[in-house]
Amino acid sequence: MGSTRSIEILCLVLAALVMLWSRALILNPWPICALMGAFALGVVLFRTRVFFPGRSRVRLAIESWTMVAFITGVLWFSGKAGSPLLNLYLLPVILSALTLGRAVTLLQIAAVALCHLLLSVATPGVDVASLPYASQAVGQLAPMLLVAYLTTTLSADITEARERIENLAQIDSLTGLFNQRKFNEVWEREHGKCAGENGVYAVLMIDMDKLNDINDSFGLDAGNSALMLVAQCLQRSIRNTDYAARFAGDEFAVLLPGASPEVAEAVVKRVRHNVYKTTLDLRSRMIRCSVSIGVANYPKDGRDVRELLSVSDRMMYRDKELRRAPGSAANV
């Protein structure tokens, strides 16, 4: 929004300077002062965010179209079609191209072309039906269209790159699950929500068993395949409203908003089953994976995130030790 303010101030300052230098302000003082005062008041009011709070796109559209109207008024008093300020139309066009998309920008270019035609009709000695006028109009308007096209293309590329960077910052590149940082953000948000509404949730800490053995026997690529298998099984085992993440190495985490202890236990069984029944083909050998899982329920097992993390982590290692015990049903 700071860049929008800068564009509006630049537009106002350039218009004021040309009005003074061209003596237009002396010839039409009151209409020009009213026009510039109204535009300046609009800039101030929109900076206070009184209008359309939280709807920045609507505000940007109104400000952009207001600039088109203001510039048209300035051109009217500073020579109409022969005004040296015709290129001021580039300011709202660039603003629209950067923030409002290609469709709105093209519509604005069409509006600018219509204003140019009306100003030319009102300019003495200009024949809008003549070839010289058509040539002049194309020469003045075509650069605006080119700038609009290049700016919208650049804006789309920047937006795509920013989204890709944001995605890389919150997604584990190997498994496609949330990374630890993003999971912690979601967890903190859900915890605060449940604390304020007396809600419940469960968090699972999951450790893949014997990943080092797979890496040693079959290589790191095989280990990565095993990690992806577990991640896919997690996604199949949880609801659309749940969150799964790869914490680090062979550890995963799952957040179950609104889940009671009974629901969490059902998810644990489903995860174990899905992981075990899905085999991994490594050098013509079918390998079955397994996981150790610890569960912590809010508020039953703790009132803050650190306490719940400690409980779930402790329960996970307890589960791992029990599953290593002789005669244990490790993969059930």
Sorted by sequence, the CB contacts under 8 Å of residue 265 that are 6+ apart come out as 295
pLDDT of residue 331: 43
The pTM of the full predicted model, rounded to 2 decimals, is 0.58
| C-alpha to C-alpha distances, 291 to 122, 137, 266, 321, 329, nearest whole angstrom | 80, 71, 15, 12, 12
Question: What stretches of the chain show up as alpha helix (H) in DSSP?
Answer: 2-21, 24-27, 29-47, 56-77, 90-99, 102-121, 131-170, 180-197, 211-218, 220-237, 261-277, 305-324
Report strand pairing: 251-257 vs 279-282: unpaired
Contact 232, 280 (CB under 8 A): no
**Cβ contacts of 234-238, under 8 Å, gap ≥ 24:** 234/177, 234/206, 234/271, 235/177, 236/274, 237/267, 237/270, 237/271, 237/274, 238/267
Task: Specify burial of residue 142 (Cβ count, 10 A radius: 0-12, 13-18, 19+).
Answer: exposed
Dist CA 94 CA 149 (whole Å): 10
Residue 169 has pLDDT above 80, yes or no: no
pLDDT of residue 330: 47
Using the 8-state DSSP alphabet, how is residue 258 labeled? T
Confidence of residue 263 (pLDDT cuts 50, 70, 90): very high
pLDDT of residue 50: 62
Q: Cis peptide before 299, with omega less than 30 degrees from 0?
A: yes
For the beta carbon of residue 287, count every other beta carbon within 10 angstroms.
18
pLDDT of residue 22: 79
Which pLDDT tens digit goes with each residue over 303-314? 899 999 999 999
First to last CA, the chain: 57
Which pLDDT tens digit goes with each residue over 20-38? 887 787 888 899 899 999 9
Closest CA to 15 of 79, 94, 75, 82: 75
Average pLDDT over residues 199-226: 91
Contact 182, 275 (CB under 8 A): no
For residue 99, which phi and psi values (nearest 5 degrees)? Answer: -120, -25
Dist CA 20 CA 17 (whole Å): 5
Residues counted in the chain:
332
Average pLDDT over residues 279-290: 83
Which pLDDT tens digit goes with each residue over 50-98? 666 666 788 888 889 999 999 999 999 988 888 888 999 999 999 899 8
**Cβ contacts of 62-67, under 8 Å, gap ≥ 24:** 63/4, 63/8, 63/95, 64/92, 64/95, 64/96, 64/99, 64/100, 64/104, 64/108, 65/92, 65/108, 65/111, 66/39, 66/42, 67/7, 67/8, 67/11, 67/91, 67/92, 67/95
Residue 329 has pLDDT above 70, yes or no: no
pLDDT of residue 286: 85
Residue 222 has pLDDT above 60, yes or no: yes
Which tokens go with 9? 């101030």
Residue 265 has pLDDT above 90, yes or no: yes
Confidence of residue 256 (pLDDT cuts 50, 70, 90): very high
pLDDT of residue 51: 61
Of all residues in the chain, the percent with pLDDT exceeding 90 is 47
Which pLDDT tens digit goes with each residue over 171-203? 888 999 999 989 999 999 999 999 888 899 999
Identity of residue 38: A
pLDDT of residue 332: 40
Average pLDDT over residues 318-325: 80
Contact 208, 252 (CB under 8 A): yes
Position with higher pLDDT, 281 vs 255: 255
